[in-house]
A and B are shown apart, each in its own frame.
Chain A
Amino acid sequence: MAHEKVNGCVILKDLYYNVENNTWVRVIDDSTVAIGMTDVAQNLAGPLLHAKTKKVGTTRKQGKPIATVESGKYVGPVKSPVAGEITKINDALSSDAGLINKSPYNNGWIVEMKADDLSSDLATMVSGDAAVSAYKEKIERDDIQACEQIEGADTYD
């Protein structure tokens, strides 16, 4: 899978990113997407202890929470990068939120959604080299520390 590392943080080039909210989108079909937290996000959060997703059938506007996570003693939302309806949730996260740390782009996916207007939403995100550039800029601007690989994490060489 084409990827690049920015300050140690993995960016997969085939995904779309909402850089501001640190979420990714994988297009499954014309209107269905999988969504998760980026490698940058899980590193900023630290070891995740809990993750609670909204229920299947919940409709969300772009920027509204699709899940709530806790790391350390901090509780924060995962904001939806698309508007639409949640069609599937990652049940494994309820017993092992650490999957997001170990495998942010694969086993740690958070929800699947049927987007109301996917092409409009994707137009607000970045992908490929543009995503790499956007993260380089963000990491420098926000002085984000280097991402660290945790034990058992997906490897990208």
Chain B
Amino acid sequence: MKIRWIDAGRVSDIRSQSIYHGLGYSLNEQSPNTIVMSIPENPYMCVGYFQDPNKELDLKYCKENSLPVIRRQTGGGAVYIDNKQLFVQWIFHPKSIPQKVEQKFQIFIKPMIETYKFFGIDAYEYGGHDVHVNGKKIVGTGAAYIGNAEVVTGNFIKEFDSKHMIGALKLPNERMRNEVNHSMSKYMSSLSEEVVSIPNFDEVKMVYKQMCEKIHGMKFIDDNFTDEELLEIENQEYKLQNDSWTFSIKQPEKKCRLIKIHTGIWVGNTSYQAGDQTLNITMRLNENIVDYINIDFTDNQHKKVIDLLETKLMKLALTEENLSIAIGSFFNLQGSDWSFLTKEQWIEALMMIYIEKKKISGGG
């Protein structure tokens, strides 16, 4: 399969996104399948097509830290992007890519996995569309049908700036922010974390190209954008920088704030009102298992009992039945004087994050 290879080098924040949008919209029957490599020069925040930046991001933080907000046409969640990331973008004719969504990602990530392996990193496919190493996510991906093209994107990350990533997220309280921070350290990785001698991006590009040739039989032709494509890339830049595009998605208020760390790992926060007391729950879920939990009351006078309850709930598989047994036995042991919630209310409160996670994740 003949593929046009475009090494766009260092590009502006907006161009790192507009390239694949522009190539998608300008793709015609004569256009070649294309792989573009680029490195964004300036940091920015990028949200997925269905994300409402007002709900996802702390726009004040973004402004104060000179982080433009770009809403892309591919799926997935909010990500912080900077010049320590090497973008890989496939812009292909639909007939050159499998129709099943899972398979689109699988063929895309194979050469990335082999590239990591070349550099001594034991990478593997996880969750259908991500690349992991030792249980940590090392590549994120996104895809879309743009214009006339199937587009799949991903990135090699030299070093991940979790400080800006977490700072730019809109989160309800510091408890959740701390837990998102902790979870990102625990469940996300980068080249610098995995190897002592970090390859430079030119080396990564060279190896990646070889892996595409080896795995998919691609024959590369080094080339550049055509004038028509450049014009469409500029058109797309205009659109992507326009607030009427960026803020056109409005998502309703949700009972829970959820952040996906990677497939299966979510951090959630929710509040539950019982009389004049408010319960605030922060929870990390590994699939449906409680991996971390913190419960705060308005009135924290029974903190010691709550600490015991948190311990009891750790590693519990969240089902109404399991919660009923766990809360029931806890009430039997501790009595119920400490609690302003009934057993049923506890179950309802503790299930909220899991139910919302199931709803928005489709299981992932």
Report whether B362 and A73 are in contact in the complex, using a CB–CB cutoff of 8 Å: no
List chain A residues, Cβ under 8 A from B360: 49
Alpha-carbon distance A96/B102, docked complex (angstroms): 21
Question: Would you call the interface of chain A mostly helix, strand, loop, or mixed?
Answer: mixed
Report the separation of the CA atoms of residues A96 and B362 in the bound assembly, to the nearest whole angstrom. Answer: 10
Cβ-defined contact, A46 with B102, below 8 A: yes
Nearest chain A residue, comparing its CB with the CB of B77 = A73
Question: Given A72-B128, A98-B362, is A44 in contact with B50 using a C-beta cutoff of 8 Å?
Answer: no
Name which of A74-82, A113-121, A129-137 contacts chain B. A74-82
Selecting from B9-17, B137-145, B213-221, the interface stretch reads B137-145
* Closest residue of B by beta carbon distance from A70: B75
Shortest C-beta distance, B144 to chain A (Å), equals 4
Using A47-B362, A77-B145, A98-B362 as known contacts, say yes or no to A72 and B101 having CB atoms under 8 A apart.
yes
Contact A75 B73 (CB under 8 A): yes
Least CB distance, A70 to chain B, in whole angstroms: 5
Could you give, for residues 94-124 of chain A, a 1 whenever the CB lies within 8 Å of some chain B CB and a 0 otherwise? 0110100000000000000000000000000
Q: Given known contacts A45-B101, A76-B144, is B49 in contact with A70 (CB within 8 Å)?
A: yes
Bound form: Cα–Cα A45–B103 in Å: 10
Contact of B104 among A43, A68, A74 (CB under 8 A): A74
Residue of chain B at shortest CB distance from A95: B252
Question: Residues of B contacting A50 with CB < 8 Å?
Answer: 50
B-contact bits for A24-55, CB 8 A (1 contact / 0 none): 00000000000000000001111111101000
Q: How far is the CA of A49 from the CA of B73 in the complex (A)?
A: 15
Q: Is B48 an interface residue (CB 8 A)?
A: yes
Within 8 A of A (CB), among B338-364: 359-364
| Contacts A50-B50, A52-B50, A68-B49 given; does A75 touch B144 at CB 8 Å | yes
Contact: A144 with B50, CB < 8 Å? no
The docked-state distance in angstroms from the alpha carbon of A70 to that of B360 is: 11
Q: Knowing A72-B102, A74-B104, A144-B99, say if A47 contacts B49 (CB, 8 Å).
A: no
B116 CB-CB contact with A under 8 Å: no
Q: Any chain A CB within 8 A of the CB of B89?
A: no
Known: A48-B362, A49-B361. A75 touches B105 (CB 8 A): no
- Our pick among B73, B100, B142 for the contact of A144 (Cβ within 8 Å) is B100
Determine if B76 is an interface residue (Cβ-Cβ < 8 Å). Answer: yes
A73 contacts which of B99, B143, B363 (Cβ < 8 Å)? B143
A90 touches B (CB below 8 Å) = no
Kindly provide the distance from the CB of B93 to the nearest chain A CB, expressed in whole angstroms: 14
Known A44-B99, A46-B101; contact A75-B362, beta-carbon cutoff 8 A: no
Closest to B140 in A: A73
- Shortest Cβ gap from B146 to chain A (Å): 9
Number of interface residues of B (CB under 8 A): 28
Give min CB distance, B357 to chain A, whole Å: 12
By a CB distance below 8 angstroms, the chain B residues around A157 are none
Contact with A44, one of B101, B142, B362 (Cβ below 8 angstroms):
B101
In the bound complex, residues from chain A placing their C-beta under 8 Å from that of B48 are 70, 73, 75
Report yes or no: A73 in contact with B129, Cβ–Cβ below 8 A.
Answer: yes
- When distances are taken between beta carbons in the complex, the residues of chain B under 8 Å from A75 are 48-50, 73-75, 143-145
Q: Which A residues are in CB contact (< 8 Å) with B102?
A: 46, 72
In the docked arrangement, what's the CA distance between A49 and B68, Å?
26
Q: How far, in angstroms, from A101 to B104 measured CA to CA in the complex? A: 19
Q: Is the CB of A71 within 8 A of B362?
A: yes
- Closest Cβ of chain A to B251, distance in Å, is 9
Q: Which residue of B is nearest A145, CB measured?
A: B100
A140 within 8 A of B: no
Known: A74-B143, A74-B144. A49 touches B100 (CB 8 A): no
Residues on A with C-beta less than 8 A from B363 are: 47
Tell me which residues across on chain A come within 8 A of B105, comparing CB atoms: 72-74
A46 to B238, CA, bound (A): 33
A71 to B100, CA, bound (A): 11
> Most chain-B Cβ atoms within 10 A of its Cβ — which of A43, A46, A47, A72?
A72
Q: Which residues of B contact A43 (CB under 8 A)?
A: 100
Q: List 18 A-B contacts (CB under 8 A).
A: A46-B101, A46-B362, A47-B362, A48-B362, A52-B50, A52-B249, A68-B49, A70-B48, A70-B49, A73-B74, A73-B141, A74-B105, A75-B49, A75-B50, A75-B73, A75-B143, A95-B252, A98-B362
